[in-house]
Each structure stands twice: as structure tokens, then as C-alpha cells.
A = this chain, B = another copy of it.
Amino acid sequence: MAKTHAFPGHAPNPLSCFTCQSRSRSEWCVLSDEDLDLLDQAKVTKTYRPGQIIIAQGDPCRGIYCIGSGTVALRKTDAEALEPCTICFIETPSLCRLLDHNPTLGFKFLEHLAHDLANAEETILQNVSLPVRTRLAHLLLTLKDRYGSVDDAGTLVISLPMRRQDIADLLGTRAETIARTIRTLEQDQVASFSGRRVMIPDLDNLLDEIDPVDH
């Protein structure tokens, strides 16, 4: 097999749907081997470097994107790779063919959207009812699952995949407010920040931010 040379946003297929790690976590897990082969043929894989724009507002919608690996920032104006990303694209006609073959697939997408909707509504509630500090604590707790690890001293360390500005956007506030909130969090010994590294010596303190316990 000839060696493939990947270049940003435009690469030959280095990925097979059959071995794709993200498949088990995605809608495609319900596909038969036959349909999976169809998907594998139809998909186009690209790689992106951090900072690259994947789609921009106004781009026509010709299919769906499936993130094999990496992290993406989805904004109102565009979608940007935050980490090195491998992303497959499946054109609408191919998707429809799969949907026809396999009704369960549609069901999975339905479930996905339902979850997204539930999350969006939860965000609406939290934005109006919780202060920035609590929302930030909530975000850290979410990020720890994917970007957190525990060091020798037993301290939780999170490597944030995004800038302060992105955090602000996510929480519906300003970068300045994030900076100030981080400061208060540090003063209260809940977490210490250094660049994109967050250290949390005691997770309980963070949990108390979300659900304050009377002592």
C-alpha cells in the first residue's frame, strides 16, 4: 500500500469506519456490516490543524460531519478545529440511502437531537438562573471527563481545549468576566489556573459550587 501524505483539511482516507473508535459512541453503531461498508465507501475524510475553519456561516449544507477524533468549536459564525481533528463528511444522498436501509439509524439521530434539545433547554435555564461562577464550575466538571487527569499528588488537572473567549461564549458572558471569576475561584482555593491548565486539589470544593451544602 502506498504511503498516504495527509495535509490540512484535505487528506486521503486514513480511517476505516470498521475500526473507527468513535463509531461505538455514535449513531453508526446500529449499522450492519453491509451498511457500514456503504458508509465507508461514501465518506470523505479530512484532517484539520488547530485554528482551521471547518465550515463557515452561509456554506451550503450538503451532508453531515462525523468527528473521528479531536475537538471542534461550533459557533454561530463558523466551526473551528481546536485540536488536530480527523473529520469525515457524508453527502446527503448517501446518508438517505443508509437511512432507507436501516430505520433504526433514523431513530438514533432522533435520540441524538432529543438530547441536544434537552441540553439546550437546560442551558437556557442555567443562563438565567445561575451566576457565571456556578456555570463555570459546571463547565469545568463537564470538561474533566474528556480533558482531565489525576497527577501524582492526587490533584485533578484539566487541560482546557479552548481560550478564555471561547469559555465566555459558551457561558454566554465576556472574557473579562471569565478572568475575574477565575480569580475569585482561585482566592477561594477551589481551583488554580495557569494558562489552559486547571488544577483542582479537591473536587468536593468544585461540587459545592454547583450544589452548595450547608455545613
Binding site for B on A (CB under 8 A): 76, 99-100, 103, 106-107, 109-110, 113-114, 116-117, 120-121, 123-125, 127-128, 172-173
Contact = CB atoms under 8 A, between A and B. Distances in A.
Oligomer copy total = 2
Contacts of A106: 103, 106-107, 110
Nearest to A173: B128
A173 B124 CA distance: 12
Contact of A120 (B99, B110, B120): B120
Contacts of A120: 117, 120-121, 124
Contact of A172 (B100, B103, B109, B124): B124
Contacts of A121: 120
A212 to B, nearest CB: 20
Contacts of A116: 117
A210 to B, nearest CB: 17
23 contacts: A76-B125, A99-B103, A99-B107, A100-B103, A103-B103, A109-B110, A110-B110, A110-B113, A113-B113, A113-B114, A113-B117, A116-B117, A117-B120, A120-B121, A120-B124, A123-B124, A124-B124, A124-B127, A124-B172, A127-B128, A127-B172, A128-B172, A128-B173
